[in-house]
Amino acid sequence: SAVISQKPSRDICQRGTSLTIQCQVDSQVTMMFWYRQQPGQSLTLIATANQGSEATYESGFVIDKFPISRPNLTFSTLTVSNMSPEDSSIYLCSVEAGGLAGVGYNEQFFGPGTRLTVL
């Protein structure tokens, strides 16, 4: 299995500011994913981050608003830029399980999430 930690666990931010969320994994993984979970909603994939290449963004998400870094195989950051109240959400980091010893094919592991409130 993979153990994933996220920082911060929650934050309250002012409109127009930016917040960077960190995701740390206890093992090396190829693919990392960033999701948004708005209140009462399912998960929406923001982007896929592979080490050494630019992140791939899903429809409706752009790099200027959600820049992502992936400097190595165990770490990634997501920045929520120029925030508005509509960005209030839970942001989740996850990794795919292919290649992790003892883990079933096609599983994903999730971090605990970062609860963001924008005033």
Partner 1 sequence: GNSVTQMEGPVTLSEEAFLTINCTYTATGYPSLFWYVQYPGEGLQLLLKATKADDKGSNKGFEATYRKETTSFHLEKGSVQVSDSAVYFCALSDPGGSYIPTFGRGTSLIVHP
The residues of the shown chain that bind partner 1, judged by CB under 8 A, are 4, 31, 33, 41-43, 45, 48, 92, 94, 96-98, 104-113
In whole angstroms, the minimum distance from the beta carbon of 44 to partner 1 comes to 9
Q: Smallest gap, in angstroms, from Cβ of residue 106 to partner 1?
A: 5
Q: What is the DSSP letter of 12?
A: E
Cβ at position 12, least distance to partner 1 in Å:
16
8 A C-beta contact, residue 93 and residue 110: yes
**Two tokens, residue 17:** 């500011």
Q: Are 83 and 13 in contact (CB under 8 A)?
A: yes
| 59 Ramachandran zone, left/alpha/beta (phi>0; psi -120 to 50) | beta
Name the minimum Å distance from CB 118 to partner 1. 19
Which residue, 98, 94, 114, is CA-closest to 106?
A: 98
Is residue 10 exposed (0-12), middle (13-18) or buried (19+ Cβ within 10 Å)?
Answer: exposed
